[in-house]
Amino acid sequence: MPIRFCILLFTLLLSGCALDGRQSFMDPKGEVAWIQYDLFMLTVYVTFGIFLAVGGTLLWTVWRYRERSSDDPNVLPPQSHGHPMVEFALIAVSVGLLVIIAIPTVSAIFYTHNMPDEPESLLGYYYKGDMADGAEDEVLTIYAYGWQWWFSFEYPQLGIVTGNELAIPKGKVVRFELRSKDVIHSFWVPKLAGKVDMIPGRNNWKWLRGDEAGYFFGQCAEYCGESHAYMQFRVEVLEEDDFAKWVEQQRQVPKPPQGESWQDFVVMSARNPEQLQDDPVVRGAALFYGRGACIQCHAIQGTPAAGLLGPDLTTVASRKSIAAGWMEHHNDEFSINSERQYDNFFRWIRESEKIKPGNLMYHVAGGMRDIELSDQDCHDLAAFMMTLRP
C-alpha cells in the first residue's frame, strides 16, 4: 500500500511539470536561457551516463557473483582485493568527465556575465533622442527594483517608469541593473535568463536578449516574506516597430478628466466637490488626489501625483495584470479583457489584504486599512484606473 501511495503521489507531483509551461526553463526563448539550457542538458547527459555505468556495474556484479545452489556453503569463493589499473582508469575517467562539464560551465559564466562585444542594442534603432556618447550608454538599460512584493522598472535613457510589466525589443541585448528597496529578492524570467539576486546595498546586473516575440512570465526567486509567491512580473518581447510604439505610448501623460490642467482639476475638486457631476471617472480621480490619499505612494507622470512607494500608475491600464502579475486580465492571446480588468481593479482596491497578505497599500500608515472607502468609492477608483492608458 505505501508503495502504491508513493507512486500515486509521485505521479501527482509530476503532473505539475510541463516542458513548455509558462515558467519552464526547458523552453528557452533567449540567448542567455539557451546557453544555460545547453549547459544543463550536457550535465544531465554526463551524469546520466555515470548513473548508467555505476548502476549497471552494480547490477552485473550482484548477478555475476550471486549464490548458486551448486556452491559449497563451507568454502569461501576466490577473494580479491583492489586492481591498480581499474582504480587509475576510474580516476582518469572522473577527471575527464569533470573537465568536460567544467570547460563549458566556466565559459558560460564569463559569457553570460560580460556584455557581448558588439551588443546589437543600439538605442538609435528605435529612439532618436539625445544620447550620451559611448557604446555602453547606447545599450538599452533598465533599472529593476525589487520591493515587498512587486517590481518597478525604469528606463533612464527613455524616461519611462513602469511597474511589474516591461517591454524589450526582440533580438537586442538589454542590460538590467538589479537593485532592492528592502530585502533580498531575485530576478528570474525562466524562458529568457536564469536568476540573479537583487540585494540591498549591492549593485548586481545582468544582460539578456529575447529572440522570439512573446509575453514571458517572471518571478521573484528568493523568499522575501509572506507574499513572496505573489511577487511576479512580465516581460513582453516586441518586434522593433512595436517596441518603438510602446515607448511612445509609455511616455504619454494622461489628460485631466475635467478642467484645463491637473492642477486646476485637483484644486477645483477639493473646493467644489459638488461639481464632480455624475461621472465615476471624475469622482474616482478626485478621490485619488484627495481623500483617498493614493498620491502618498503612487505617481502618475505629468500630474500632481508623485508618490514613490508604490507602482507608477501612469499607464497602469495598458498592463495585462495588476498586483505584481497576480491578478491577470488577459486572454489566451495576451490581449486585455476589459471586464476582467475592471473587476480586478475593483477587487484589488476593495480587498487587497485578502489577495496579497501584508501588502503595503493596505498596511502603510494612511493606507487602505485607515481609509474608509465605500463600495461606490472603490468602483469610482476602478473607473479612473481604467482611463490610465495611452
Residue that the C-alpha cell 549591492 belongs to: 202
Q: Which is nearer to ligand CUA, 138 or 222 (CB)?
A: 222
Q: Which three cell numbers, joined as nine digits, stand for 111?
A: 559569457
Query: Helix (H, G, I), strand (E, B), or coil: what is residue 84?
Result: helix
The CB-of-138 to ligand CUA minimum distance in angstroms stands at 31
Q: Which is nearer to ligand CUA, 145 or 216 (CB)?
A: 145
Q: Which is nearer to ligand CUA, 150 or 384 (CB)?
A: 150
Q: Which is nearer to ligand CUA, 179 or 185 (CB)?
A: 185
Check residue 379 for interaction with ligand CUA (CB under 6 A). no
What is d(CA 29, CA 16) in angstroms, rounded to the nearest whole number? 21
Q: Which is nearer to ligand CUA, 2 or 201 (CB)?
A: 201
Query: Helix (H, G, I), strand (E, B), or coil: what is residue 140?
Result: strand
Contact between 301 and 313 under an 8 Å Cβ cutoff? The reply is: no
Check residue 196 for interaction with ligand CUA (CB under 6 A). no
Q: Which is nearer to ligand CUA, 126 or 230 (CB)?
A: 230
Residue that the C-alpha cell 516586441 belongs to: 238
The CB-of-141 to ligand CUA minimum distance in angstroms stands at 22
Binding to ligand CUA (CB under 6 A) within 214-253 occurs at: 220, 222-224, 228, 231
Contact residues for 264 (Cβ-Cβ < 8 A; gap 6+) = 256
**Number of residues lying near ligand CUA (CB under 6 A):** 9
The CB-of-294 to ligand CUA minimum distance in angstroms stands at 23
What is d(CA 337, CA 328) in angstroms, rounded to the nearest whole number? 9
What is d(CA 37, CA 194) in angstroms, rounded to the nearest whole number? 9
What is d(CA 358, CA 381) in angstroms, rounded to the nearest whole number? 22
The CB-of-359 to ligand CUA minimum distance in angstroms stands at 12
The CB-of-344 to ligand CUA minimum distance in angstroms stands at 21
What is d(CA 288, CA 381) in angstroms, rounded to the nearest whole number? 7
Q: Which of 170, 179, 185, 379 binds ligand CUA (CB under 6 A)?
A: 185
Binding to ligand CUA (CB under 6 A) within 313-372 occurs at: none
Q: Which is nearer to ligand CUA, 35 or 178 (CB)?
A: 178
What is d(CA 228, CA 184) in angstroms, rounded to the nearest whole number? 11
Check residue 149 for interaction with ligand CUA (CB under 6 A). yes
Element spanning 121, H or E: none
- Cα dihedral 139, 174, 187, 324 in deg (nearest 10): 100
Q: Which is nearer to ligand CUA, 126 or 187 (CB)?
A: 187
Q: Which three cell numbers, joined as nine digits, stand for 39?
A: 549547459
Element spanning 149, H or E: none
Strand stretches in the chain, DSSP E:
140-147, 150-155, 160-163, 165-169, 173-180, 185-189, 193-198, 204-209, 214-220, 232-238, 321-322, 327-328
Check residue 146 for interaction with ligand CUA (CB under 6 A). yes
Q: Which is nearer to ligand CUA, 231 or 323 (CB)?
A: 231
The CB-of-166 to ligand CUA minimum distance in angstroms stands at 16
The CB-of-167 to ligand CUA minimum distance in angstroms stands at 22
The CB-of-227 to ligand CUA minimum distance in angstroms stands at 8
CA atoms within 13 A on the CB side of 162: 29
The CB-of-158 to ligand CUA minimum distance in angstroms stands at 25
Residues that bind ligand CUA (CB under 6 A): 146, 149, 185, 220, 222-224, 228, 231
